Amino acid sequence: MALKWYTVVVDSIDPQAQARWWAEVLDWVSVYDTPEEAVIVPREALEGPERAASLEEWMRRGQGLVFVSVPERRSGKNRLHLDLAPHTSQDRDAEIQRLLDLGATRADVGQGEEVSWTVLTDPEGNEFCVLSSRDQ
């Protein structure tokens, strides 16, 4: 049996705004949008045939992000967060500045100054990290 990690679901006050923001951050595309739910996926997930011909092809397709409407704001520290990493050919500091310009905010979750990652929050306060540049 094969199970695939298909999506990460994020509770949101404004799913459409969150989906637009994350799509801009990741250069992904929206594939579903209703008042209660918005879904974004990597552009590559839309390349090729609509249906994967084999289990192996299906397993290789990237995961999506689903933003669902909830009435309450996030409270407390995230139990799950995303780690983003720039490629070694990219300017990590410029990528962080781009995220800040898009509306991210720096966050202190007790990480200290000696760490190799930067903690930010999205417009609804969900933490995520920008890791050091890497090529694998």
pLDDT digits (tens, 9 = 90+) for 60-116: 778 999 999 999 888 887 889 999 999 999 999 999 999 999 999 999 888 888 899
Question: Comparing C-alpha atoms, which of 11, 40, 46, 7 is closest to residue 23?
Answer: 40
Residue with the bigger pLDDT between 8 and 56: it is 8
Asked if the structure places residue 75 within a domain, the reply is: no
**Contact assessment for residue 42 and residue 87, using Cβ atoms and an 8 Å cutoff:** no
pLDDT band at 42 (very low <50, low <70, confident <90, very high): very high
Asked if the structure places residue 76 within a domain, the reply is: no
**Contact assessment for residue 90 and residue 133, using Cβ atoms and an 8 Å cutoff:** yes
**Considering its fold, how many domains does the chain have in total?**
2
pLDDT exceeds cutoff 70 at 45: yes
The residue behind tokens 């996030």 is 74
Asked if the structure places residue 64 within a domain, the reply is: yes
Asked if the structure places residue 102 within a domain, the reply is: yes
Asked if the structure places residue 74 within a domain, the reply is: no
Residue with the bigger pLDDT between 47 and 13: it is 13
| Domain carrying residue 121 | 82-130
Res 1: pLDDT = 57
Of 10-14, 76-80, 119-123, least confident by mean pLDDT is 76-80
Give yes or no: residues 14 and 42 share one domain.
yes
Asked if the structure places residue 63 within a domain, the reply is: yes
Give yes or no: residues 89 and 126 share one domain.
yes
Give yes or no: residues 62 and 113 share one domain.
no
Asked if the structure places residue 2 within a domain, the reply is: no
What mean pLDDT value characterizes the chain? 91
Asked if the structure places residue 136 within a domain, the reply is: no
